[in-house]
Amino acid sequence: MFGSATWDGVEKGISFEILQNIQLAYGITTHKSQGPQFPYVIFTATKCRVLDRSLIYTAIIRARKKVVVLGDLEAVKGKIKLPPALITCLLVLGICLILAIIQKI
């Protein structure tokens, strides 16, 4: 045994054979990923104040082939039904205002 990992409260051993099949991967936040697309996206969702339909949409459209949603699927379903969070609306409004000011200059 090389070590162990805990998933949903259950500890599992990690053998050297499993370790040989693990490849290096990188993760970034949905906010950082705005713009580029990736073949596969793993989106982890929990009930939190920053989870809203805009964030879910952004995460999903980043995938070219497949999206995997991990976590609280009910939180995702609930947030999709609601309008975007106020902070998102204010951010968009602020950007529009800045662009309008720049165009007048």
Q: Where are the domains of the chain?
A: 29-104
Express each pLDDT in 8-47 by its tens digit.
788 888 888 887 888 877 778 777 777 788 898 888 888 8
The answer to whether residue 87 scores a pLDDT higher than 60 is no
CA distances from 59 to 16, 52, 84 (A): 34, 11, 14
> 21 or 95: whose pLDDT is higher?
21
Q: How confident is the model at residue 72 (pLDDT cuts 50, 70, 90)?
A: confident
Which residue in this structure is represented by tokens 């082939």? 65
Instruction: Report which residue type is found at 38.
Output: F
- Please answer whether residues 64 and 38 qualify as being in contact, where contact means their C-beta atoms are separated by less than 8 angstroms: yes
Cα–Cα dist 9/39, whole Å: 31
User: What CATH code is assigned to 29-104?
Assistant: 3.40.50.300
Give the whole-number percent of the chain exceeding pLDDT 90: 2
